[in-house]
Structure 1
């Protein structure tokens, strides 16, 4: 089989529009967001991102993890409070809960990579203080049902949209549906800042608390376009966690906002093309999106059907040998997305649905910049690896 022509881990180049501003910043040395009286690169990024996503307020921070942590603190979550999170997410999510001195409560996730709504409702008890919904790898859970249950019980929801910039639910941008939305600009995300994150909300009091705690010491909060009485209420009453974004990071990220529609379009086309090829196999399954969901994927997840543990390992090995790395979440040593590896949260519950899913769920990068020929090559590797392990498709069912 021909070698894959492009590395799926290569990032797109930073747009040329960023370079002049980066050069000016390097020449001036002015990298701190609060040096300028106004119009700093970070401030411009916040304003442009808020307008693009459809939120009143945006706060640029050092990471999506920092955005999640600040969101919890801005909601008043504290020591011992319970926070519902999906059992299928990245370790940074329970880590943010632990950082806020709260207790993660893990909710089952099914073979479609989405929250099990029966388990969610059962665990949404009166002592739950907040909910984080991770749209893990861009898979959107039933936000209509989630928000209805949460609002009926008065529990605020935070959307972890690290993987979902550009995804919509019923025509609304993911991240704008819940009380707070959090995004990532880490290198493998749709907008690449190396590191960095964004918190959005329409609530002036929440953003005021988050701005101060992010590190707007003394009166630097006056450089944020938020009702100043909201800030004055919290002056000197909140700790400073210093999770600010630098001007240099903002200069790298800002020009990529204009690239998002193209990356979404091309990423969706690549994903759906490969999904169609994989779903033709009796051994592979890419779950369909929910009806209101229009995804913006830069990776693909699929289930291995009828595989044993040894066959699953053989599939991973065959794919790698043919030139495409694939991880099975539950089979990769110390995988940060396998809940049983989160030793820092204490004893984890028995979650048989999530565990079974993770033991057969495959994950592969599928960036928007890939050509159709490269997508065909990647799909061909997975199909060939499955046939090598399970036998020819023509023999299936005979």
Structure 2
């Protein structure tokens, strides 16, 4: 380590680091000749619509689905045009709709709750715990006679406590739809995330580990969920005569189809998931080893460290005021980070900022999932409904990691954390 010069940088001392921190994106930093090759191949074929029958057996989307079937060890996969589309398709595919409640965590991207509403069901918001994922006890406590499903979200690359969640879900005959948008490449006890529940939903948006600009994937072992999701993701699906889409009665759907261009980019990106995640894990473990003995900070609990995607390092301080002070000093030392106060934990990921959910405001003023005749429940929302979630996020500091980080980068983070801790804790 470089050694500290007298005092904290905010007080006139020499900052630990003056170089830029890591790139904003994990996925697009990996773009190379493979992406160019795959994209040019699509252009050369002059076939960018997936279900054009000429050349259907050479579809890039079909190849991408096969890759995710193999990765998650599931029987069915459906490529769609976004992560939100994957959630909606899975929910509708599972038969969830008006009158149903679906349990979601209070810390996740707003799309998780929005997807439930789009499926015409009612989201029930529950606490997270120190894993930053759904608290299994809070999940079980929130079950009502109207509960149909739960969506555990593998938040910030951290696997949920799937043993407890699956046990509770099976005991109460509930469907489990995994939201893997932020954890592509992760595992839980050796099983790929997305392949544990009744369905798994992925996102390929640019901030994710794998990108196709926008895009998503639904995986499942349930043929009915896959067939219904296929119909819903394309209002004309039965006309294409693809796989088992005709095995269920047709019904109105959307257009969530993935283009061949998106699929080609996602295919190239997905081929290197393990390499990227492997490097991320090495980076995170290097930093964790350097700070695990620091007094006064509590590391995020990871249910399965070997399955952690590891692009985020989180630790907790004793209280909100200390976290804000620590974060400010850490930034001054050259290590950008986020807290609940400075939007490092983006507002749209925290339930208190899901304005239309808390207000029970739907797309129609007269007919919403909460007011439709089929719903007999009485779910209530308030900004203080999940105090543990707000306490944890208020005390948490998050540092973004990147697969390109060097040993020097890691040691800068370690030194800055230890330096700030020595002065204020």
Q: How does the TM-score come out when normalised to structure 1?
A: 0.89
Mind listing any 5+ residue stretches in structure 1 that lack a counterpart?
392-398
SS at match of 1:359: helix
- The match for 2:415 is 380
SS at match of 1:162: coil
Aligned residue pair count: 382
Q: Write the mapping of 1:131-150 to structure 2, written as runs, cut at 5 A.
A: 131-150=150-169
Mapped contact 2:23–2:402 kept (Cα < 8 A): yes
- The match for 2:180 is 161
- The match for 2:298 is 285
- The match for 2:277 is 264
- The match for 1:313 is 324
> How far apart, CA to CA, are the structure 1 residues paired with 2:334 and 2:46?
43
Q: Which runs of 4+ in 1 moved over 4 A?
A: none
Deviations 1:324-343 (A, max 9, x none): 32111355297112211111
The 3 A distance-change label for structure 1 pair 239 and 329 is farther
SS at match of 1:159: strand
Deviations 1:158-190 (A, max 9, x none): 001112222222221111110000112122222
Deviation at 1:277, TM superposition (A): 2.2
> How far apart, CA to CA, are the structure 1 residues paired with 2:330 and 2:236?
51
Mapped contact 1:330–1:360 kept (Cα < 8 A): no
The 3 A distance-change label for structure 1 pair 13 and 141 is closer
SS at match of 1:59: strand
Deviation at 1:308, TM superposition (A): 4.1
Q: Write the mapping of 1:329-368 to structure 2, written as runs, cut at 5 A.
A: 329=340, 331-332=342-343, 335-346=347-358, 347-348=381-382, 350-368=385-403
Q: Write the mapping of 1:77-96 to structure 2, written as runs, cut at 5 A.
A: 77-96=96-115
> How far apart, CA to CA, are the structure 2 residues paired with 1:56 and 1:155?
21
Deviations 1:182-212 (A, max 9, x none): 1121222221222211110011111111111
Q: Does 1:298 align with 2:311?
A: yes
The 3 A distance-change label for structure 1 pair 218 and 163 is closer
The 3 A distance-change label for structure 1 pair 86 and 308 is closer
Match of 1:25 among 42, 49, 55: 42
Mapped contact 1:329–1:337 kept (Cα < 8 A): no
Q: Which 10-residue stretch deviates more, 88-97 or 11-20?
A: 11-20
Mind listing any 5+ residue stretches in structure 2 that lack a counterpart?
1-15, 359-380
> How far apart, CA to CA, are the structure 2 residues paired with 1:219 and 1:103?
29
The 3 A distance-change label for structure 1 pair 195 and 376 is farther
- The match for 1:190 is 209
The 3 A distance-change label for structure 1 pair 293 and 108 is farther
Deviation at 1:15, TM superposition (A): 3.8
The 3 A distance-change label for structure 1 pair 330 and 135 is farther
> How far apart, CA to CA, are the structure 1 residues paired with 2:420 and 2:216?
37
Q: Does 1:233 align with 2:268?
A: no
Q: Write the mapping of 1:14-163 to structure 2, written as runs, cut at 5 A.
A: 14-27=31-44, 29-35=46-52, 36-163=55-182
> How far apart, CA to CA, are the structure 2 residues paired with 1:97 and 1:362?
30
Mapped contact 2:341–2:394 kept (Cα < 8 A): yes
- The match for 1:396 is none
Match of 1:323 among 327, 330, 334: 334
The 3 A distance-change label for structure 1 pair 271 and 232 is same
Deviation at 1:28, TM superposition (A): 5.3
Q: How does the TM-score come out when normalised to structure 2?
A: 0.83
SS at match of 2:257: coil
Deviation at 1:78, TM superposition (A): 1.4
- The match for 1:243 is 256
SS at match of 2:124: strand
Q: Does 1:8 align with 2:10?
A: no
> How far apart, CA to CA, are the structure 1 residues paired with 2:81 and 2:263?
10
